[in-house]
Chains A and B, each alone.
Chain A
């Protein structure tokens, strides 16, 4: 890592300029503007007015802030657990050769090709309690009237399931690719030692996928933290405020209440949370050290 680039033949800093410029223009600059906006009152019609720490003080008396934060934590953790639990085994399974696997892998890739809006509208129709799939499936799972997205206790979980439906294929793809790169010799050695299928999965596959698990987890965690399109279209944050997660709270404050200043405060909070979370995950898992998983082979 400390080797000078010229001696290793690796690209010099100059090569990073386009990426850095892009990053500065579309990530750093908006962040700075948002921090600036958080100190103003701005409805979008007139010029932003500097109001000092008014918006930040408003955080204290925003009764929706803590509930929204709690919903976001639940959504983020549940999405991470659910998506990993589904994507990891599926990815490993799909990595093995065979036509049925290839066909199925292609089919469940489909949600990835659809826009979030299309997915949300599609599920909105499916979840209509009188005419949608919800009216058929509801009674089978104890929801006799098909009232899924209208039930404050269920709505968030339905959103989590739909979001998982959208993103699991992507993570399956990650795991599939990573599994195919695990050296076959490791499995041969494990087989010689008499390891069962499950033991091989636990002792060889999962440890070998360690870096992929971290990458996938960071994407899921930070992604869920800032994700809201499907919720916006599916429930609009309702019923009541049952699915009004923090990023959606930000959006509604900004673009429905036209309180851009306060929305910017929430945006800054999300920015800090997201960055903090990803740094935390990479530190705790030792991902940053970039240890080789095939050392000594």
Chain B
């Protein structure tokens, strides 16, 4: 008896390994979580049909500064719409959200409007037939469409059809720096060419500083270097081919060239020696930059709000400076091109029973003066044209103006690769790139791994 019970416990322990997977299997039919969004009814409340009113669900990511704005805009819509449909907002934490959405979409508990990253992330839902084509609705609202920055709207457009519209700020990647550290090391200006950067690295090393802070324990921070270098070396087309499904494009000489430049940076100690232990989520690189231990950091525009949250004194001082990613010798890419997260997007589910009301919400609210001002107030630069004067306000007026011009003048805005590619390819990409940074993999081996 005792023996059998003990064996049972052993099998139970082993069963824990598989439980998580099976839970996911059950998840698609399980009840929908009611999150902190104050939603009162599930999507089943939307059975009334669009003409006769009904209820809809809007899903977003938990964000202390954005959620109030999102809820206010939904409330505004609920009050003013003639469709009789009311929406409610539910918010979820970032990582669980991706998993929840993945299992909820296509089930009875799916949202009507959902937050997403555009690009490959959105495409997988489009390919599964779960996302509504909103091209006609957006085209019909000419006023709304003309306000959107085209290079950003592109990321919500798949095969020529619009499936998502931008709903928050633009997040280009750029080079940040600690001006005090640069000055002390004898670097007087932000580098504009690769040679400038090399000189700065040499000087910073001589001054016993880590030239570039890199959160190498998180692969996506390393990816930014490859994204920009490939864009500068080979132009935006190379990655567009890769996203289009042409795996042989990984074999483009510009890819190996960019990876070689990366390994050269590693060899010369541009990132120091212990970068692969440093994290971004635990403020590792923020502390390096703000604490004057490092000169540069390549990061998305959210760096400023992240610094402001952790090191407000540094963030608001003149010590924090920024610039474009430098040009490279004989580069084919446009030096004004940028990479990063063009924006996040709202999409409408195909099975939504309040599709027209959802389209009405998107086209009437997302470019409204209140919403745009709301974004600006929390330090986000919306993907909306004609904001030259408005962005020059607040604590970070200079930075916002720089970001706005950077995006507006960019001939292309390449989406972060790990968002643009499908999930499995992103995984391989990030692990392989980490190995390139660790020199466990040669550029050619990387290309071989990615073209498979």
| A and B interact physically | yes
| In the assembled complex, B435 has its CB within 8 A of some CB on chain A | yes
**In the bound complex, CA of A241 to CA of B431 (Å):** 7
Mostly, the A contact residues are: helix
**Are A147 and B217 in contact, with the CB atoms below 8 A?**
no
Q: Which residues of B contact A235 (CB under 8 A)?
A: 217
Q: Does B48 contact A (CB under 8 A)?
A: no
The digit string for B411-452, where 1 denotes a CB below 8 A from any CB of A, is 000000000000110110001001100101100000000000
In the complex, the answer to whether A252 meets B427 with C-beta atoms within 8 Å is yes
Is A150 at the interface (CB under 8 A from chain B)?
Answer: yes
Q: Please give me the residue from chain A that is nearest to B281 by CB atom.
A: A124
Q: How far is the CA of A123 from the CA of B32 in the complex (A)?
A: 34
Residues of B within 8 A of A263 (CB): 21
Q: A30-B22, A45-B102 are in contact. Are A130 and B288 (CB under 8 A)?
A: yes
CB pair A238 B28 closer than 8 Å: no
Chain A contacts for B103, CB-based, 8 A: 44-45
Q: Is the pair B431, A240 in contact by a Cβ cutoff of 8 Å?
A: yes
Contact partner, B20, options A125, A215, A251, Cβ 8 Å: A251
Instruction: State whether A33 and B13 are in contact (beta carbons under 8 Å apart), knowing that A130-B284, A236-B217, A238-B431 are contacts in the complex.
Output: no
A residues 19-53 near B (Cβ < 8 Å) are 19, 23, 26-31, 33-34, 37, 43-48
CB distance from A73 to the nearest CB of B (A): 16
Interface flags, B288-318, vs A, CB<8A=1, else 0:
1001010000000000000000000000000
B142 in the interface, Cβ–Cβ < 8 Å? no
Chain B residues numbered 253-270 whose CB sits less than 8 Å from any CB in chain A: none
Q: Considering the chains assembled together, what is the distance between the CA atoms of A62 and B103 in angstroms?
A: 26
A residues 231-267 in Cβ contact with B at 8 Å: 235-241, 244, 247, 250-252, 254-260, 263-264, 267
Is A33 within 8 A of B15, CB to CB?
no
Task: Pick from A79-87, A199-207, A275-283 the stretch touching chain B.
Answer: A275-283
What count of chain A residues pass the 8 Å CB interface test?
A: 76
Q: How far is the CA of A1 from the CA of B44 in the complex (A)?
A: 56
Shortest distance from the beta carbon of B114 to any chain A beta carbon, whole Å: 12
Q: List residues of chain A with CB within 8 A of the CB of B287.
A: 130-131
Contact at A134–B435, with CB atoms within 8 Å? no
Q: Which of A90-98, A100-108, A163-171, A216-224 contacts B (4 or more CB under 8 A)?
A: A216-224
B1-45 vs A, CB cutoff 8 Å, 1 = contact: the mask equals 111001110111111111111111110100000000000000000
Partner of A255, one of B99, B125, B288, B293: B99
Q: Which of A146, A258, A268, A270 is packed against the most chain B CB atoms within 10 Å?
A: A258
**Of the residues B13, B26, B277, B431, contact of A226 by C-beta under 8 Å:** B13
A150, A225, A257 interface centre (most CB from chain B within 10 Å): A150
Q: How far is the CA of A131 from the CA of B282 in the complex (A)?
A: 11
Contact between B434 and A240, CB atoms less than 8 A apart: yes
Total chain B interface residues with beta-carbon distance under 8 A? 61
Nearest neighbor of A131 in chain B, beta-carbon distance: B287
For B16, B277, B279, which residue has the most chain A Cβ atoms within 10 angstroms? B277
Which B residues touch A226, using CB under 8 A? 13-14, 16-17
A24 to chain B, nearest CB (A): 11
Q: Is B276 in contact with chain A by the CB < 8 A criterion?
A: yes
Instruction: Determine whether A271 belongs to the interface, using a CB cutoff of 8 Å to chain B.
Output: yes
Within 8 Å of chain A (Cβ to Cβ): is B124?
A: yes
| B18 close to A270 (CB less than 8 A) | yes
Set of chain A residues within 8 Å of B14, measured between Cβ atoms: 222, 225-226, 270-271, 273-275, 278
Contact A26–B19 (Cβ < 8 Å): yes
How far is B5's CA from A174's CA once the two chains are assembled, in angstroms? Answer: 18
Known: A270-B17, A270-B18. A46 touches B128 (CB 8 A): yes
**Complex: A264 Cα to B7 Cα, angstroms:** 23
A110 to B22, CA, bound (A): 32
Q: Which of B8, B128, B277 contacts A150 (CB 8 A)?
A: B277
Contact B124 A45 (CB under 8 A): yes
Known A226-B16, A271-B15, A278-B10: A239·B434 in contact at CB below 8 Å: yes
> Nearest chain B CB to A36's CB is how many angstroms away?
9
A222→B15 CA distance, assembly (Å): 10
Chain B residue nearest in CB terms to A40: B25
Least distance between B259 CB and chain A CB atoms (Å): 15
Partner of B219 from A238, A267, A271, A282 at Cβ < 8 Å: A238
Q: Are B21 and A267 touching (Cβ within 8 A)?
A: yes
Measured CA separation A31–B28 after assembly (Å): 18
Q: In this assembly, does B61 line the interface, its C-beta being within 8 Å of a C-beta of chain A?
A: no
B216 within 8 A of A: yes
Tell whether B89 is near chain A: CB-to-CB under 8 Å.
no
Is B239 an interface residue when CB atoms closer than 8 A count as contact? no
Contact B105 A45 (CB under 8 A): yes
> Per-position contact with A for B271-286: 1 when CB-CB < 8 Å, else 0?
0111111110010100
Q: B105 — which chain A residues lie within 8 A by C-beta? A: 45
Identity of the chain B residue whose Cβ is nearest the Cβ of A144 in the assembled complex: B273
12 A-B pairs whose Cβ atoms sit less than 8 Å apart in the complex: A10-B1, A43-B102, A44-B24, A45-B102, A45-B103, A47-B106, A125-B282, A128-B279, A147-B273, A150-B275, A240-B440, A256-B423
Closest 9 CB pairs of A and B: A150-B276, A150-B277, A274-B14, A30-B22, A147-B274, A27-B15, A129-B274, A278-B10, A257-B424
8 new A-B contacts, CB < 8 A, other than A254-B21, A290-B2, are A26-B12, A148-B277, A223-B13, A240-B431, A258-B102, A263-B21, A264-B21, A274-B10
